[in-house]
């Protein structure tokens, strides 16, 4: 742990270039400038990722912990899912999730096997004024073996780095291995909330886990951030497990709820591009609500595997980006440049053989501007370019 004087120095230089600070040892003799630079860099990331933690006196011993930590928006969302009295966070890490859970529960046990990280988190909680936390130094497995039970909720965010395989996302490769701990988890708590990487296939994860009572696919700032699985001793068949696709916005959130049986039974209505185009938010796309989304809002779909939707009249309150279609072009340079004379466009590809960079190069366009270009396959198997402008704010 750094001294209070060094922590104050870090705060005073929080806006400085970390690379320049790391090279300024001669200017500040006696100060561990490499460590100072690392802390300044962490603060600059936290300022945007966890704004409630952006204050003097905090200490972050491992840069990777800052990278892997939940954002404030996703941590706050998770903590608001349940009302609990007693809970445990078995993968404490930097403590972002635990800090928000602690504000919603009467008592929380933070479990972390890295002693230095635990000490830093305890110091940070004291600095942030977070109380009601018990501290357990050890592995999740040893905590579970020793705990008498009676918890309302156990939360896990298994580490997705493997000594031999590097960065991983399969459940069995993460630490702790929740598949091996399932029975013990249910002996200690009524509910288990598991966070996984977005790369993990939802159906396969649900099949492996069993006893899945709910799934949340959480997106923020235009990207899918995490997937949450609620495990309970008595859960419905996996086909009817409610899946909530949640897009966290600045002051609200958009939620689309469905289940796999509904999606399987839904029939997509294919349509050529009409007046308006809709691109579902990333949580819906990750959740796989491809047919039920269009059916729910009465939208046509450009192709069975092109997850873009269309309508003749503007449909309000759709959890999607909405566009006015200005023109539909062939996928060739001359046609598109005639439709986009300013030479700038935001490019998205859906069910298309080329990447956005390849499309941009082939069509001779620059990135940016007010035009949105969707390269897609239509219901007639044609490769088309749909030229649009925004119709409303993102949902």
- Tell me: pLDDT of 394 over 50: no
Examine the domain organization and report whether 73 and 41 are in the same domain: no
pLDDT at 160 over 80: no
Range(s) of the domain holding residue 294 = 264-390
Q: Is residue 352 located within the same domain as residue 212?
A: no
One domain, residues 201 and 300:
no
pLDDT of residue 163: 56
Q: Is the pLDDT assigned to residue 192 strictly greater than 90?
A: yes
The 10s digit of each residue's pLDDT in 206-219 is 999 999 999 999 99
What is the pLDDT, as a whole number, of residue 162?
Answer: 59
Q: Is residue 252 part of a domain?
A: no
How far is residue 296 from each of residues 219, 247, 292, 310, 315, measured CA to CA in Å?
20, 17, 6, 13, 11
197 and 278 together in one domain:
no
pLDDT given for residue 392 in this prediction: 65
Indicate whether 251 belongs to any domain: no
Rounded to the nearest 5°, which phi and psi values hold at 204?
A: -65, -40
Question: Is residue 154 a part of any domain in this protein?
Answer: yes
Domain presence at residue 129:
yes
303 with 272, same domain: the answer is: yes
Q: Is position 335 within any domain? A: yes
Question: Per-residue pLDDT for 173 more than 90?
Answer: no
Residue 258 belongs to some domain of the structure: no
* pLDDT, tens only, 42-85: 999 999 999 999 999 999 998 888 888 999 999 999 999 998 99
**Domain count of the fold of the chain:** 3
Model pLDDT for residues 357-389, shown as the tens digit of each residue: 999 999 999 999 999 999 999 999 999 999 999
Which CB contacts under 8 angstroms, 24+ apart, belong to 352-360? 352/376, 352/377, 352/383, 353/383
Looking at the DSSP bridge assignments, the partners of residue 229 are 194, 215
Asked whether residue 235 falls in the same domain as residue 204, the answer is yes
Q: Are residues 24 and 72 in the same domain?
A: no
Q: Are residues 78 and 42 in the same domain?
A: no
Q: Which two tokens stand for residue 162?
A: 């493997």
pLDDT tens profile 264-293: 999 999 999 999 999 999 999 999 999 999
Q: 317-362: per-residue pLDDT in tens?
A: 999 999 999 999 999 999 999 999 999 999 999 999 999 999 999 9
pLDDT value at position 352? 98
What CATH number corresponds to the domain at position 127? Answer: 3.40.50.150
Closest by alpha carbon to 328, among 278, 367, 362, 377? Answer: 377
3-class SS at 133? strand
Residue 393 pLDDT > 60: no
Q: How far is CA 15 from CA 33, 40, 127, 269, in A?
A: 15, 8, 21, 53
221 and 275 fall within a common domain: no
Domain end call among 20, 43, 60: 60
For residues 42 and 158, state if they share a domain.
no
pLDDT at 63: 81
- For residue 168, the model assigns a pLDDT of 60
- My answer on whether 79 and 125 are in the same domain is yes
For residues 102 and 195, state if they share a domain.
yes
Asked whether residue 35 is domain-assigned, the answer is yes
- Gap between the Cα atoms of 115 and 133, Å rounded: 16
Residue 395 is assigned to a structural domain of this protein? no
Q: Which is more confident, 151 or 169?
A: 151
CA distance 172 to 208: 10
pLDDT given for residue 76 in this prediction? 96
């Amino acid at each position: 742990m750094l001294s209070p004087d060094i922590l104050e120095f870090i705060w005073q230089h929080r806006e400085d270039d970390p690379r320049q600070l790391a090279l300024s040892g001669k200017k500040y003799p006696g100060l561990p400038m490499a460590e100072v630079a690392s802390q300044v860099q962490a603060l600059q990331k936290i300022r945007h990722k966890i704004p409630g933690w952006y204050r003097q006196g905090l200490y972050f011993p491992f840069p990777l912990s800052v990278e892997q930590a939940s954002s404030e928006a996703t941590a706050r969302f998770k903590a608001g899912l349940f009302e609990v009295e007693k809970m445990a966070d078995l993968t404490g890490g930097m403590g972002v999730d635990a800090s928000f859970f602690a504000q919603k529960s009467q008592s929380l046990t933070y479990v972390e096997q890295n002693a230095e990280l635990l000490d830093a988190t305890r110091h940070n909680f004291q600095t942030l004024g977070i109380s009601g936390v018990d501290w357990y130094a050890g592995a999740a497995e040893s905590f579970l073996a020793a705990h008498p039970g009676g918890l309302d909720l156990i939360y896990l965010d298994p580490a997705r780095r493997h000594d031999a395989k590097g960065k991983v996302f399969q459940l069995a490769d993460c630490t702790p291995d929740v598949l091996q701990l399932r029975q013990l988890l249910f002996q200690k708590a009524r509910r288990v909330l598991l966070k996984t990487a977005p790369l993990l296939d939802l159906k396969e994860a649900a099949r492996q886990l069993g006893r899945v009572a709910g799934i949340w696919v959480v997106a923020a700032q235009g990207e899918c951030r995490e997937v949450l699985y609620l495990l309970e001793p008595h859960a419905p068949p996996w086909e009817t497990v409610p899946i909530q696709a949640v897009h966290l916005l600045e002051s609200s959130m958009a939620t689309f709820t469905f289940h796999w049986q509904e999606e399987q039974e839904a029939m997509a209505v294919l349509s050529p591009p009409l007046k308006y185009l809709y691109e579902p938010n990333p949580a819906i796309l990750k959740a796989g609500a491809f047919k039920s989304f269009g059916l729910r809002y009465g939208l046509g779909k450009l192709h069975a595997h092109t997850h873009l939707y269309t309508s003749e009249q503007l449909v309000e309150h759709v959890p999607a980006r909405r566009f006015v279609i200005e023109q539909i072009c062939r996928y060739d340079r001359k046609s598109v440049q005639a439709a986009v004379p300013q030479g700038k466009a935001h490019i998205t590809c859906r069910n298309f053989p080329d990447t956005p960079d390849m499309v941009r190069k082939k069509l001779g366009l620059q990135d940016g501007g007010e035009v949105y270009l969707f390269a897609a396959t239509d219901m007639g198997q044609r490769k088309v370019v749909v030229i649009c402008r925004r119709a409303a704010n993102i949902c």
